[in-house]
């Protein structure tokens, strides 16, 4: 930021083109070399938005910010991991990638793979992917395979396929994914000038919480922040293996993005919990929807239901937040991903079938 201000004083008007995408922006922190073909859609640099309405619900001078990663090119944080995973796959000469997905990974994998000239195979749980995400995977040119099983089953299959055939696995077991995703923590510290006291984040496969922790730790080791946040991971009550301490055979929640019963990054995430003095907690679908609506109608921020779990969790645990603390809630995906849930869950007035007359409209408005 100081550099940008200095450039502005010299008459430079900042534009989006100043942001080269996260690999170039954080190249020194990432496992790339001059030989890595950078496949980017200029992801990253997402806003950290103050959330005064949520802060007021909590009170005691607590400051709340939303890391709105729904503003990435395909509308979710998955772009951070995918620019890395796809660039490295291309570097290794791969011609096809595969993933299992509750939706967002499939959209990101499809976009980046096609941009890199590769085939993208995506396995999704048949009937449990939000409409916008399916639309994206298809439009980006993925080969979509809907299986009659949940995400966990689909992940087991793609791991098998990637073991046996010449396709690169780009789920978060691919280490380059978490390397890319850790840049979100860098951006939070770059924006605040320090790490927050709490980091609230939705948890499915537990990759993102592990990536954030890696980012905060690396930044602290380099002296970019003094403290580390407590990492607070929130799962949907019907899909809460990290909270229950065991696999959930039949995960269920309105937040289909985190409808995951057997998180592959379980061990990493347990370490994050211990090292950060954080915790995993469950929020009900009703609590998720309340937070989702409050974010929309109170803050003007439209995220998908899974993302709202971070705010639902903060509201649920608000008494434990120290007075004056700074809290960042990660909003992992854009609300436009899942229009069905928004249309079915809101408190807004929607008058239909009105006669096209000024008097009629005015009367309905209450005049």
Binding site for ligand AN7 (CB under 6 A): 76, 78, 101-105, 172, 202-208, 257-258, 304, 306-307, 332-333
Q: Shortest Cβ distance from residue 354 to ligand AN7 (Å)?
A: 36
Beta carbon nearer to ligand AN7, 231 or 325: 231
Q: Shortest Cβ distance from residue 253 to ligand AN7 (Å)?
A: 12
Residues 6+ apart with CB under 8 A from 216: 185, 189, 195, 199, 225, 228, 229
Q: Shortest Cβ distance from residue 205 to ligand AN7 (Å)?
A: 3
Strands 48-50 and 63-68: antiparallel
Q: Shortest Cβ distance from residue 313 to ligand AN7 (Å)?
A: 12
Strand partners, 234: 202, 281
Cα pseudo-dihedral 191, 305, 140, 97, rounded to 10: 80
Beta carbon nearer to ligand AN7, 46 or 101: 101
Q: Shortest Cβ distance from residue 15 to ligand AN7 (Å)?
A: 29
Under 8 Å between Cβ of 58 and 318? yes
Beta carbon nearer to ligand AN7, 308 or 325: 308
Task: Kindly report the backbone phi and psi dihedral angles of residue 152, in degrees, each rounded to the nearest multiple of 5, phi listed first.
Answer: -60, -40
Neighbours of 76 (CB within 10 A): 30
Beta carbon nearer to ligand AN7, 196 or 251: 251
Beta carbon nearer to ligand AN7, 45 or 269: 269
Q: Shortest Cβ distance from residue 2 to ligand AN7 (Å)?
A: 32
Q: Shortest Cβ distance from residue 364 to ligand AN7 (Å)?
A: 36
Q: Shortest Cβ distance from residue 224 to ligand AN7 (Å)?
A: 23
Q: Shortest Cβ distance from residue 207 to ligand AN7 (Å)?
A: 3
Report CA-CA distances (Å) from 41 to 47, 71, 83, 199, 292: 17, 12, 8, 27, 28
Q: Shortest Cβ distance from residue 331 to ligand AN7 (Å)?
A: 8
Q: Give the closest residue to 76 by CA, choosing from 120, 41, 107, 50.
A: 107
Per DSSP, the residues of 210-273 read HHHHHHHHHHHHTTS-S---EEEEEEEGGG-HHHHTS--SS---S-GGG--SS-TTHHHHHHHH
Beta carbon nearer to ligand AN7, 137 or 195: 137
Report CA-CA distances (Å) from 129 to 70, 116, 288, 337: 17, 25, 18, 10
Under 8 Å between Cβ of 51 and 294? no
Nearest-10 crossing angle of helices 104-115, 131-139: 20
Under 8 Å between Cβ of 113 and 94? no
Beta carbon nearer to ligand AN7, 58 or 331: 331
Beta carbon nearer to ligand AN7, 69 or 197: 69
Residue 160, CA atoms < 13 Å, CB-side half-sphere: 7
Distance CA 89, CA 279 (A): 34
Beta carbon nearer to ligand AN7, 101 or 217: 101
Q: Is 120 helix (H, G, I), strand (E, B) or coil?
A: strand
Instruction: List the structure tokens of 104.
Output: 């967002």
Beta carbon nearer to ligand AN7, 78 or 90: 78
């Amino acid at each position: 930021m100081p550099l940008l201000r200095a450039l502005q004083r010299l008459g430079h008007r900042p534009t989006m083109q100043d942001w080269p995408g996260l690999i170039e922006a954080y190249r020194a922190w990432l496992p790339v070399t001059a030989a890595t073909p950078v496949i980017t859609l200029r992801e990253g640099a997402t806003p950290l938005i103050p959330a005064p309405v949520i802060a007021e619900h909590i009170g005691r001078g607590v400051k709340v910010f939303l890391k709105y990663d729904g503003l990435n090119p395909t509308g979710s944080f998955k772009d951070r991991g995918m620019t890395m995973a796809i660039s490295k796959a291309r570097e290794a000469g791969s011609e096809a990638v595969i993933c299992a997905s509750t939706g967002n990974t499939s959209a990101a994998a499809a976009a980046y793979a096609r941009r890199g000239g590769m085939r993208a195979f995506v396995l999704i749980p048949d009937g449990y992917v939000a409409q916008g995400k399916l639309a994206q995977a298809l439009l980006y040119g993925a080969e979509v395979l809907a299986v009659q099983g949940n995400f966990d089953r689909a992940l087991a299959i793609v791991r098998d396929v990637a073991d046996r055939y010449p396709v690169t696995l780009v789920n978060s077991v691919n280490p380059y994914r978490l390397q890319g995703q850790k840049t979100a923590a860098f951006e939070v510290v770059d924006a605040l000038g320090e790490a927050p006291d709490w980091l609230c984040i939705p948890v499915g496969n537990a990759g993102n919480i592990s990536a954030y922790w890696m980012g905060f730790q690396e930044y602290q080791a380099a002296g970019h922040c003094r403290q580390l946040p407590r990492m607070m991971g929130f799962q949907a009550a019907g899909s809460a293996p990290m909270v229950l301490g065991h696999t959930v055979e039949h995960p269920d929640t309105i937040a289909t993005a985190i409808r995951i019963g057997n998180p592959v990054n379980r061990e990493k995430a347990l370490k994050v919990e211990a090292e950060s003095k954080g915790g995993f907690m469950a929020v009900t679908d009703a609590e998720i929807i309340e937070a989702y609506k409050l974010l929309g109608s109170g803050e003007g921020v439209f995220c998908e239901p899974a993302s709202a779990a971070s705010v639902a969790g903060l509201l649920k645990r608000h008494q434990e937040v120290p007075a004056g603390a700074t809290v960042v809630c990660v909003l992992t995906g854009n609300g436009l991903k899942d229009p069905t849930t928004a249309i079915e869950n809101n408190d807004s007035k929607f008058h239909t079938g009105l006669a096209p007359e000024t008097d009629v409209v005015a009367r309905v408005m209450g005049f």
